[in-house]
Chain A
Amino acid sequence: MLKKRYSLMLIVVLMLVTILSGCQPAADGGDGDGNGDDVKEFVYAVVDDPATFDLDTTSWHQTQAIVSFDSLVEIDTEGNVSPKLAESWEISDDGLEWTFNLRQGIMFHCNEEEFTAHAVKHKFDHMKNPDKPSVNAHMISAIDDVVVVDDYTVKFMFNSVDGAIWNTLGGSFFAIDCPSCREEHGEDYGMNPCGTGPWILDDYVPGSHVTYVANTEYWGGADYWDNNGPPKFDKLTFRIIPDEATRILELQQGTVDYAAVPPQETKRLQDETDINVILSPSNGLRYWGFNMKKWPWTNKNVRIAMQYAIDKEAITESALEGLAKPLWSALPPSIPGYSEELEAEFKAKYPYDPAKTKEVLENDGWALNADGVYEKDGKPLAVSMWVLNEGIQIRTAEIIESNLKDVGVDLDIQVMEQATLTSGSPKGLHESLLWTYGWYDPQILFFLFNNGGTRMHYIDETVQRLAEEGHQKVSMEERLPIYEELQRYLADNPSWVVLYFPQDIHGFSPRVENVRMNPFGGGFVLNDIELK
């Protein structure tokens, strides 16, 4: 009996030994106070793991997955195209042949291959590989072929004019991989990326962090960057912290140098801490979208009535703490195509006016029933709305529900997970949804409504035609009038209620200097950052 007690104690001791022996700090970058003695480390808090470093196999291109790559060009802070891997370009008169002159003397991280036109063609071929096309192949559907003219000259052959292709060529969707490394690693390339970018992947511990070390041989990056050389600090660590409150706490404590700040923490961080809070206009808007295939949205009067029903200011003041602005246009100020005049026009057309909502409904034949809900042909005006299970969305939804109750509409809020939302709405399972879009170019309207789109199923000839024509011109000047017409048409024939456009709120620790925001590139220019 005693023996058995001792054997129990032995087990306990063994367990203790296991723990203590196994408890070394996590590898690399786990120290958290950001300052090894002379190693300058920038700690960037992110919400989740990178999906993969093979950018062709996913549409999720988070910052933590893409910093080891470069693109041919980049959109600068004014919205203009800035040379990057491509020094210059010529576009044929008919807009169907784009010739790029590439920068010379750039090596991939593996140091075994030089960046040349072959790498560009390889990327294109890989994306369009008929056996296993890239998930993002539709972004370059306008490009038929890429021809290598010589080592540093490459020609893109288009099947139709696409003036919006700059956003694809200027971002991660056409990031250039090292061809030989791709061939070598095959399926495992997703864990062994090789690009030309300013950062080289050093360590990735799933669920914990992604660490990059500076590419000391970096060729310089986009023209518009202030710092056209290697990064000014040595290590870039992305810490994966799923919980929002935890991220902010770490930012305050200085164990993290950058985190996106939710609106409700902004004032407090600005007033009570030394965190440098920077606001920049977000590149999208939030909307309440109707599934046009379902009742009651087939009735245009109902849709028009809803335009007067929502108190957008209450939403931006409350759910967004005043850090967003109500919006009426189909494009937000941060996307070309937006105009103050158009916005003023739409705002005057659809002010917040619950009485008007009731008037439009009643003129359409609706009458209030015993429950205070409008009814027509025996059917009460009761609709459901899919909402993502996230704080801001839910708060917005609650305000909308309250607004609608005031005008005799019964709204049923259905809080859903992202996966259910994203796969269910293309199938049209919803009645309406609270959603967002984000992009840098008015082509977003094409993505949104092409063939009805995956969110609102809005099939309309005019919308389709205008949305397509919008990017079938090379220069932005030629495209803008088309988008103006489209916005007007959407205001008169809405499939949604545009709600607001938010601001991105960035929190930097005080030791971070030279912060330069770029609303067109998603965030700030990482290469310009310096650490005190």
Chain B
Amino acid sequence: MSYTYIIRRILATIPVLLGVSLLVFLMLHAIPGDPVRLIVGEFAPQETVDAITRQLGLDRPLHVQFFNFLSNAVRGDLGRSLITNRDITQEIVNRFPLTFKIAVLAVLLQIIIGLGLGIMAALNHRKILDNVAMIGALLGVSMPSFWLALLLMLVFGVGLKWLPISGYFGFKSLILPAVTLGLLTGARIARMTRSSVLEVLNQDFVRTARAKGLKERIVIYKHVLKNALIPIVTLVGMSFGSLLGGAIITETVFALPGIAQLAINGINRRDFPMVQGVVLVIAVSFTLCNLLVDVVYSVLDPRIRYE
């Protein structure tokens, strides 16, 4: 795993980040509507609309606006929100810890549920445990996330009153959202783990290891898992990466001030720089996660070569 490889990978992400910024910029300006009317209100005269448009720099040609955004972003300045005039970088930094904590919790849950169920199912292939686990996992991947969120909220928040319904009150508030996210993706990981393990179990070198008389446990842990984990690492990594971008539905239903809400509010209010900034940060997190995944990948399977 050479350093030059890592450097090259990081450099390779730059065009991707540029592409993402361009895509979101074009998309935002293609969506009808602008923030000015929202700011000035329904009854302001056209002069006010024009004045605010000029003030916010929205009348400049598109490529100028985009270039300004880029040149500032590179220096770490994501600009100010059009609506609140607050510094965007600061807003994102403020909200990132919450999103990060939920992402970590959710991923931990996903790993526990996913690996646990998946391995158990694979080792008990075609027996009852396998079927039960896989039916559970199937239900998990078929369930709408907003439905699950509402059900959890009703049961644990309203019915049993164990957990807060909404808002951010510390660790307790992270549980239901993390469970919602963890259960559903955990189900997907369980399915993938099961098939991955089954696939590896069936390969020649495993039979060889068994034939050599190695203890079953060593066979499982040393050989099977290490190889089976590869596609799962990818899935977990991508899941973590996308959770770092916040989970729109969970944040809305549980009223959590995370990153996704920043983005959604930004789109609703046509707060262009806000959405640009948030999406850029999301893309960076996602790409970094991918890089991390590749690193772990190569650690797990030295057979993989990188050109």
Residues of A whose CB lies within 8 Å of any CB of B are 1, 4, 8, 12, 15-16, 18-20, 22-26, 30-32, 48-49, 51-52, 54, 57-60, 132-133, 135-138, 187, 190-191, 205-209, 239-243, 245-246, 249-250, 253, 255, 417-424, 426, 429, 447-448, 450, 454-455
- Is there contact, CB below 8 Å, between A423 and B37? yes
B18 within 8 A of A: no
- Is there contact, CB below 8 Å, between B226 and A138? no
Q: Mark B267-295, 1 if CB is under 8 A from A, else 0.
A: 01110000000000000000000000000
Contacting residues, chain B, for A136 (C-beta < 8 A) = 40-41, 44
Leading 8 A-B pairs by shortest Cβ distance? A207-B257, A59-B41, A25-B170, A419-B33, A23-B171, A423-B33, A447-B43, A246-B166
| Complex CA–CA separation, A242 to B257 (angstroms) | 10
| A396 CB, nearest partner CB in chain B, Å | 19
| Complex CA–CA separation, A253 to B166 (angstroms) | 12
**Extra 6 A-B pairs, beta carbons < 8 Å, given A26-B169, A52-B84, A429-B32:** A19-B101, A207-B95, A241-B255, A242-B252, A250-B167, A418-B38
Look across to chain A and name the residue whose beta carbon is closest to the beta carbon of B94. Answer: A206
A419-B35 CB under 8 A given contacts A1-B226, A135-B41, A205-B257: yes
B161 within 8 A of A: yes
B219 within 8 A of A: no
A30-B33 CB under 8 A given contacts A15-B108, A52-B84, A418-B38: no
- Is there contact, CB below 8 Å, between B32 and A26? no
- Is there contact, CB below 8 Å, between B254 and A246? yes
- Is there contact, CB below 8 Å, between A15 and B104? yes
B204 within 8 A of A: no
Option from B43, B169, B256 in Cβ contact (under 8 Å) with A138:
B43
Contacting residues, chain B, for A249 (C-beta < 8 A) = 153, 157-158, 165-166
- Is there contact, CB below 8 Å, between A12 and B254? no
Q: Mark B68-92, 1 if CB is under 8 A from A, else 0.
A: 0000000000000001111000010
| Complex CA–CA separation, A24 to B296 (angstroms) | 32
| B269 CB, nearest partner CB in chain A, Å | 6
B307 within 8 A of A: no
- Is there contact, CB below 8 Å, between B95 and A426? no
Option from A1, A12, A54, A59 in Cβ contact (under 8 Å) with B222:
A1
Contacting residues, chain B, for A32 (C-beta < 8 A) = 164, 167, 169
B55 within 8 A of A: yes
Contacting residues, chain B, for A191 (C-beta < 8 A) = 86
| Complex CA–CA separation, A297 to B72 (angstroms) | 49
B238 within 8 A of A: no
Contacting residues, chain B, for A450 (C-beta < 8 A) = 43
Q: Mark B233-275, 1 if CB is under 8 A from A, else 0.
A: 0000000000000000000111111100110010011100000
- Is there contact, CB below 8 Å, between A419 and B255? no
| Complex CA–CA separation, A239 to B265 (angstroms) | 17
| A504 CB, nearest partner CB in chain B, Å | 19
Contacting residues, chain B, for A241 (C-beta < 8 A) = 166-167, 255
B14 within 8 A of A: no
- Is there contact, CB below 8 Å, between A137 and B48? yes
Contacting residues, chain A, for B38 (C-beta < 8 A) = 60, 418-419, 422-423
Look across to chain B and name the residue whose beta carbon is closest to the beta carbon of A54. Answer: B85
Option from A23, A31, A60, A253 in Cβ contact (under 8 Å) with B161:
A253
B120 within 8 A of A: no
Q: Mind listing 25 A-B residue pairs with CB under 8 Å?
A: A18-B101, A19-B104, A22-B101, A31-B169, A48-B265, A59-B40, A59-B44, A132-B55, A206-B86, A241-B167, A249-B153, A249-B166, A250-B165, A253-B158, A253-B165, A255-B164, A418-B268, A419-B34, A419-B35, A421-B33, A422-B37, A422-B38, A423-B38, A447-B42, A455-B42
B20 within 8 A of A: no
Look across to chain A and name the residue whose beta carbon is closest to the beta carbon of B165. Answer: A249
| Complex CA–CA separation, A205 to B45 (angstroms) | 33
| Complex CA–CA separation, A205 to B261 (angstroms) | 14
Contacting residues, chain B, for A423 (C-beta < 8 A) = 32-34, 36-38, 270
Option from A23, A57, A133, A187 in Cβ contact (under 8 Å) with B51:
A133
Contacting residues, chain A, for B148 (C-beta < 8 A) = none
B97 within 8 A of A: yes
- Is there contact, CB below 8 Å, between A51 and B167? no
Contacting residues, chain B, for A448 (C-beta < 8 A) = 43
| Complex CA–CA separation, A133 to B255 (angstroms) | 35
| A32 CB, nearest partner CB in chain B, Å | 6
- Is there contact, CB below 8 Å, between B33 and A417? yes
| B109 CB, nearest partner CB in chain A, Å | 12
- Is there contact, CB below 8 Å, between A208 and B34? no
Contacting residues, chain A, for B43 (C-beta < 8 A) = 138, 447-448, 450, 454
B66 within 8 A of A: no
- Is there contact, CB below 8 Å, between A19 and B105? yes
B39 within 8 A of A: yes
B52 within 8 A of A: yes
Look across to chain A and name the residue whose beta carbon is closest to the beta carbon of B80. Answer: A187
Q: Mark B2-17, 1 if CB is under 8 A from A, else 0.
A: 0000000000000000
B123 within 8 A of A: no
| A457 CB, nearest partner CB in chain B, Å | 13
| A128 CB, nearest partner CB in chain B, Å | 12
| Complex CA–CA separation, A522 to B254 (angstroms) | 28
- Is there contact, CB below 8 Å, between A243 and B255? yes
| Complex CA–CA separation, A208 to B257 (angstroms) | 6
Look across to chain A and name the residue whose beta carbon is closest to the beta carbon of B90. Answer: A206
B300 within 8 A of A: yes
Contacting residues, chain B, for A250 (C-beta < 8 A) = 165-167
Contacting residues, chain A, for B296 (C-beta < 8 A) = 8
| Complex CA–CA separation, A206 to B259 (angstroms) | 11
| A133 CB, nearest partner CB in chain B, Å | 6
Interface hub of B42, B95, B150, B153 (most chain A Cβ within 10 A): B42
Contacting residues, chain B, for A419 (C-beta < 8 A) = 33-35, 37-38, 268-270
B26 within 8 A of A: no
Contacting residues, chain B, for A447 (C-beta < 8 A) = 42-43
| Complex CA–CA separation, A150 to B199 (angstroms) | 89
Interface hub of B48, B91, B94 (most chain A Cβ within 10 A): B48
| A52 CB, nearest partner CB in chain B, Å | 5
B299 within 8 A of A: yes
- Is there contact, CB below 8 Å, between B166 and A243? yes
Look across to chain A and name the residue whose beta carbon is closest to the beta carbon of B300. Answer: A4
- Is there contact, CB below 8 Å, between A30 and B269? no
Contacting residues, chain A, for B45 (C-beta < 8 A) = 138
| Complex CA–CA separation, A242 to B261 (angstroms) | 10
| Complex CA–CA separation, A57 to B104 (angstroms) | 39
| Complex CA–CA separation, A509 to B52 (angstroms) | 41
